[in-house]
Amino acid sequence: MIPRYSRQEMSSLWSDEARYSRWRDVELAALEGMVEAGLAPREALADCLARAGDFTPQDAAKIEEIERTTKHDVIAFLTFMEERVGPSARWLHLGMTSSDVLDTSLALTLRDALDLILKDVDRVMAAVEKRAFEHKHTLQMGRSHGIHAEPITFGHKLAIWYDELRRARVRLEHARDVIAVGKISGAVGTFAHLPPAVEEHVCRKLGLKPAPASSQVVQRDRHAEFFTALALLGSSIEKFAVEIRHLQRTEVREAEEPFTAGQKGSSAMPHKRNPILSENLTGLARLLRGYAVSAMEDVALWHERDISHSSVERVIGPDATILADFMLIRFARLMEDLRVYPEQMKKNLDLLGGVVNSQRLLLELARKGMDRQAAYVIVQRNAMKLYEEGLDFKQALLADEDLRKMMTPEEISDCFSPGYHTRHMDDVFQRVFGRSA
């Protein structure tokens, strides 16, 4: 992933040094398992533990240099380790296949990536929750089809987001469980050269579960689930971002992305505060969806494995996790500092002069026994006056004689009380947050 969209916290998980450290961890854990199973001498393990060491960028470069000869990454790594550790290193990897190392350490990386992403999601959720309560009663026009419908509160909108984020979180947690499996089952998964006990030891040591059954590799439906969970997360963030873009439109301007004091707009026009963060998030979500497509095609490997998935994962492994992390942090900051304009929300709410309350009148008339069609005629003819004569809807209604036969002025006025639309916010918040204040 390009540096522009990479945070060090995540991209460092994918560095060469980090990769070789994982491989070392897996190899050492496996050797320990062999020792426990009586398959290797304890001294060899002690030796390896003492000398394995960490990996500098220079080490990584050296391993890569070896790979140019061996044309095999794991063999290059082992060759390097033999030089570093000495004779005891020949006990490393004994009876293992490359995929034992690669898949188990990929699981570690993806798990850690998910842990970071989950932390990011928590930050986003906290920000959304805070803003939701802040605006629990901030009235705003609800819109369907982009057209004014009935009032909501801005906090209600955010409560819906929070609820959606929780679902995203559950999916990610599930993907974490699914991906956090290791395998030390050998070339075709039969434990031909090392018993299951070694695999179990490695997994216990590294915080993974053993894949109940594996071929040469861990099955790729697990990884496909991982990448689709990220794509779904991205799609939800896109939804929020699209909403912010809508609210920041010049004609709507009910909210704006944060901008810093000295920040210069793209031109001399002071109104030109563009929702570029949200637009950026919208685009990045498209990338995550594309990666999910590639990942789903990886599932159908041939026989006990072919290596077609490898190139895909080398690319989308870092790309998808780095982007997801970047998106979440960008979105968290955006939400933490989102500028909300309740005044403008109120102004837009009144744009159609109370016509948005027409449904309430209809219902009131219906409950009083008026026929649906008759009620509709009364309400519509008064609503039309706004358009045709510029007449205020409420005033028009109060002057309508047919209506007055059914409703008192007080009852009519009641249909315009703003509290009506927000009186169940406590219920919604209770459901979503487990608390209403």
The least distance separating a second copy from the CB of residue 153, rounded to whole angstroms, comes to 8
User: Binding to a second copy (CB under 8 A): which residues in 225-244?
Assistant: 225, 228, 231-232, 235-236, 238-239, 241-243
Q: Which of 125, 255, 316, 329 binds a second copy (CB under 8 A)?
A: 316
Fill in the DSSP letter of residue 14: G
The least distance separating a second copy from the CB of residue 213, rounded to whole angstroms, comes to 5
The rounded distance, in Å, linking the Cα atoms of 365 and 176 is: 54
User: Binding to a second copy (CB under 8 A): which residues in 144-163?
Assistant: 144-153, 156-157, 159-160, 162-163
For residue 272, which phi and psi values (nearest 5 degrees)? -80, 65
The pairing of beta strand 181-182 with beta strand 255-256: unpaired
Binding part of the chain for a second copy, among 48-56, 118-126, 207-215, 397-405 by CB under 8 A, reads: 207-215
The rounded distance, in Å, linking the Cα atoms of 331 and 117 is: 13
Token pair 């999601």: residue: 121
Q: Which is nearer to a second copy, 79 or 332 (CB)?
A: 79
Tokens of 122: 């928590």
User: Binding to a second copy (CB under 8 A): which residues in 355-394?
Assistant: 355-356, 358-363, 366-367, 371-372, 376, 379-380, 383-384, 386-387
Q: Do the Cβ atoms of 110 and 226 come closer than 8 Å?
A: yes
139-160 burial code (b ≥16 CB/10 A, e <16): bbbbeeeeebeebbbbbbbbbb
DSSP H or E segment with residue 36: helix 16-36
Q: Which of 84, 90, 205, 346 binds a second copy (CB under 8 A)?
A: 90
Binding part of the chain for a second copy, among 24-32, 48-56, 346-354, 396-404 by CB under 8 A, reads: 346-354
Fill in the DSSP letter of residue 4: G
DSSP per-residue codes, 360-410: HHHHHHHHTT--HHHHHHHHHHHHHHHHHH---HHHHHHT-HHHHHH--HH
Per-residue contact flags (x/-) with a second copy for residues 245 to 284, judged by CB under 8 A? xx-xxxxx----------xx-xxxxxxxxxxx--xx-xxx
Fill in the DSSP letter of residue 217: S
The rounded distance, in Å, linking the Cα atoms of 267 and 271 is: 9
Q: Which is nearer to a second copy, 24 or 169 (CB)?
A: 169
The least distance separating a second copy from the CB of residue 184, rounded to whole angstroms, comes to 12
Q: How many residues bind a second copy (CB under 8 A)?
A: 158
Q: Decide if residue 130 touches a second copy (CB under 8 A).
A: no
Q: Decide if residue 8 touches a second copy (CB under 8 A).
A: no
Active site residue 145: yes
Tokens of 77: 């790594």
Binding part of the chain for a second copy, among 52-60, 111-119, 222-230, 405-413 by CB under 8 A, reads: 222-230
The least distance separating a second copy from the CB of residue 401, rounded to whole angstroms, comes to 18
User: Binding to a second copy (CB under 8 A): which residues in 418-437?
Assistant: 420-422, 424-425, 427-428, 431-432
The least distance separating a second copy from the CB of residue 269, rounded to whole angstroms, comes to 5
The least distance separating a second copy from the CB of residue 234, rounded to whole angstroms, comes to 9
Q: Do the Cβ atoms of 111 and 320 come closer than 8 Å?
A: no
Exactly one of 144, 145, 271, 303 is catalytic; name it. Answer: 145
Q: Which of 319, 324, 340, 397 binds a second copy (CB under 8 A)?
A: 319
The rounded distance, in Å, linking the Cα atoms of 235 and 144 is: 20
User: Binding to a second copy (CB under 8 A): which residues in 32-71?
Assistant: 39, 70-71
Q: Decide if residue 398 touches a second copy (CB under 8 A).
A: no
Q: Provide the phi-psi class of 407: left if phi over 0, else alpha when psi is between -120 and 50, else beta.
A: beta
Q: Which is nearer to a second copy, 116 or 432 (CB)?
A: 432
Q: Closest Cα to residue 429, out of 124, 169, 134, 133?
A: 133
* CB-CB neighbours of 166 under 10 Å: 14
Q: Do the Cβ atoms of 317 and 103 come closer than 8 Å?
A: no
Fill in the DSSP letter of residue 265: -
Q: Which of 191, 337, 404, 436 binds a second copy (CB under 8 A)?
A: 191
Q: Which of 302, 389, 390, 408 binds a second copy (CB under 8 A)?
A: 302
The rounded distance, in Å, linking the Cα atoms of 155 and 140 is: 9
Q: Which of 110, 117, 168, 179 binds a second copy (CB under 8 A)?
A: 168
Q: Decide if residue 324 touches a second copy (CB under 8 A).
A: no
Q: Coil, strand or helix: which one is 231?
A: helix
The least distance separating a second copy from the CB of residue 377, rounded to whole angstroms, comes to 9
* CB-CB neighbours of 396 under 10 Å: 20
The least distance separating a second copy from the CB of residue 322, rounded to whole angstroms, comes to 10
Exactly one of 144, 266, 271, 303 is catalytic; name it. Answer: 266
Catalytic positions, please? 145, 266
